């Protein structure tokens, strides 16, 4: 593996590339990335790096967002089939119908969405900034797409707004049931429960802390608790072990792994940098339309 990592490092230099990775990809991939973070951090980082090529180790909406924000850069993925199913769980028609039905409406899309949905939205959010951004919007009615669970979570934090929800969900986070968390708590009653807001409301209600992957990692590092029940994808364990090596972490849920994030491997990273094949390509009108929602997120969420 050391040889493979050395070859990737050499290719990275030759291609003038930077590696961005999400916390859910395999440990080995996180370990050789230049920057590892949550989806908001990675979208910001993509606008700051100076290299000509971004090798994005995550799922398609993340690489697509990097391209939307950096049309002049080459954005590569180790596996272009790594896609987030939730990103496709909203129809353009849902947005058009809501716009026709409601005056004073803001369409808010979770970053886990396609470029087409971003292009139809007023602002993009992630779980780390959704509450702050929605609170700051002048509109009273909020159509939140595609994730119903993050939408309901934010709606509970911002009760002064009227939310319209969509049916999307994440299969990894909805596989974490209240019963599973209760079972884990019976075994480890001293544990703190840390949950991603893509979990269902009954799980989030039980949590001592709810937030993005970065938020969960920071909470584990700074909390005086020693034991944690983690309600998100198991990839965050790599960073949890780094920031809190003496603490204990238990994961719950029937699907602890995001199969799409796990498609990213070192071998595919090397191949992507060698061949430079299948860079993200977006129609310029679509890209420009989608850029507005992402830039507004950076303005309001910074
Ligand atoms: P974060 O923004 O918290 O990293 O979440 C991304 C994601 O896909 C969660 O499933
Ligand atoms: Fe999508 Fe869920 Fe995987 Fe996150 S964990 S990328 S929301 S399928």
- Condensed to tens digits (0 to 9), the pLDDT of residues 25-66 reads 999 999 999 999 999 999 999 999 999 999 999 999 999 999
Q: Greatest CA span in the chain, whole angstroms? A: 59
> At the topology level of CATH, where does 2-85+261-280 sit?
Rossmann fold (3.40.50)
Average pLDDT, the chain: 97
Query: 235 pLDDT band (50/70/90 cuts)?
Result: very high
User: What ligand 2 atom has the least distance to the C-alpha of 84?
Assistant: 1
Determine the pLDDT at residue 88: 98
Q: Which CATH superfamily is domain 176-251 in?
A: NadA-like (3.40.50.10800)
Tell me which of 20, 21, 23, 24 to substitute to probe ligand 1's pocket, judged by most ligand atoms within 8 Å of the beta carbon: 24
User: What ligand 1 atom has the least distance to the C-alpha of 112?
Assistant: 8
Terminal Cα distance for the chain, rounded: 38
Tell me which of 39, 40, 56, 59 to substitute to probe ligand 2's pocket, judged by most ligand atoms within 8 Å of the beta carbon: 59
Q: Kindly list the protein residues whose Cβ atom lies closer than 6 A to any atom of ligand 2.
A: 59, 84-86, 112, 170, 172, 198, 233, 258, 260-261
Smallest CA-to-CA distance from 213 within 22, 46, 26 is with: 22
Tens digit of pLDDT for each residue in 124-169? 999 999 999 999 999 999 999 999 999 999 999 999 999 999 999 9
The correct CATH number of 92-169+288-301 out of 3.40.50.10240, 3.30.413.10, 3.60.15.10, 3.40.50.10800 is 3.40.50.10800
Mean pLDDT of 255-278: 97
Give me ligand 1 centre to Cα 58, in Å.
10
Tens digit of pLDDT for each residue in 270-279? 999 999 999 9
| Cis omega (within 30 of 0) for bond into 269 | no
Tell me which of 86, 89, 114, 195 to substitute to probe ligand 2's pocket, judged by most ligand atoms within 8 Å of the beta carbon: 86
CA distance 273 to 55: 8
Q: Which ligand is nearest to the CA of 85?
A: 2
- Domain extents in the chain: 2-85+261-280, 92-169+288-301, 176-251
User: What ligand 1 atom has the least distance to the C-alpha of 211?
Assistant: 3
Asked whether this chain's domains 2-85+261-280 and 176-251 adopt the same fold, the reply is: yes
- Asked whether the predicted pLDDT for residue 1 surpasses 90, the reply is no
- Asked whether the predicted pLDDT for residue 195 surpasses 90, the reply is yes
Q: How far is CA 223 from CA 36, 110, 176, 243, in A?
A: 22, 28, 23, 11
Percent of the chain with pLDDT over 70: 100
Determine the pLDDT at residue 102: 97
Determine the pLDDT at residue 150: 98
Q: Which ligand is nearest to the CA of 214?
A: 1
Token look-up 């290719």 returns: 11
| Structure token digits, residue 150 | 């993050």
40's CB contacts (< 8 A; 6+ apart) are: 111, 126, 128, 129, 212, 214, 297, 301
């Amino acid at each position: 593996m050391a040889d493979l990592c050395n070859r990737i490092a050499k290719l990275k230099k030759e291609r003038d590339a930077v590696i961005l990775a999400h916390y859910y990809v395999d440990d080995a991939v996180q370990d050789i990335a230049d920057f590892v973070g949550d989806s908001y951090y990675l979208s910001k980082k993509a606008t700051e790096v100076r290299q000509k090529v971004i090798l994005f180790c995550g799922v398609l909406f993340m690489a697509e967002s990097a391209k939307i924000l950096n049309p002049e850069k080459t954005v590569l993925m180790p596996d272009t089939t790594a896609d987030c199913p939730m990103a496709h769980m909203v129809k353009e028609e849902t947005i058009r119908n809501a716009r026709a039905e409601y005056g004073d409406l803001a369409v808010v899309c979770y970053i886990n969405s396609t470029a087409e949905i971003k292009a139809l939205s007023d602002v993009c959010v992630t779980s780390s900034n959704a509450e702050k951004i929605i609170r700051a919007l002048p509109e009273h009615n909020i159509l939140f797409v595609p994730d119903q669970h993050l939408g309901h979570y934010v709606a509970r934090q911002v009760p002064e707004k009227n939310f319209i929800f969509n049916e999307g969900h994440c299969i990894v986070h909805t596989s974490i049931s209240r019963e599973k968390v209760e079972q884990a708590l019976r075994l480890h009653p001293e544990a703190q429960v840390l949950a991603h807001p893509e979990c269902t409301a009954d799980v989030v209600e039980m949590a001592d802390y709810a937030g993005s992957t970065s938020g969960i990692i920071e909470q584990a590092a700074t909390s005086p608790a020693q034991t944690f029940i983690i309600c998100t994808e198991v990839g965050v364990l790599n960073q949890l072990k780094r920031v809190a090596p003496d603490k204990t972490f238990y994961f719950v849920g029937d699907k602890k792994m995001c199969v799409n994030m796990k498609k990213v491997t070192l071998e595919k990273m090397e191949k992507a940098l060698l061949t430079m094949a299948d860079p993200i390509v977006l129609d310029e009108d679509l890209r420009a339309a989608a850029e507005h929602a992402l830039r507004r997120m950076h303005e309001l969420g910074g």
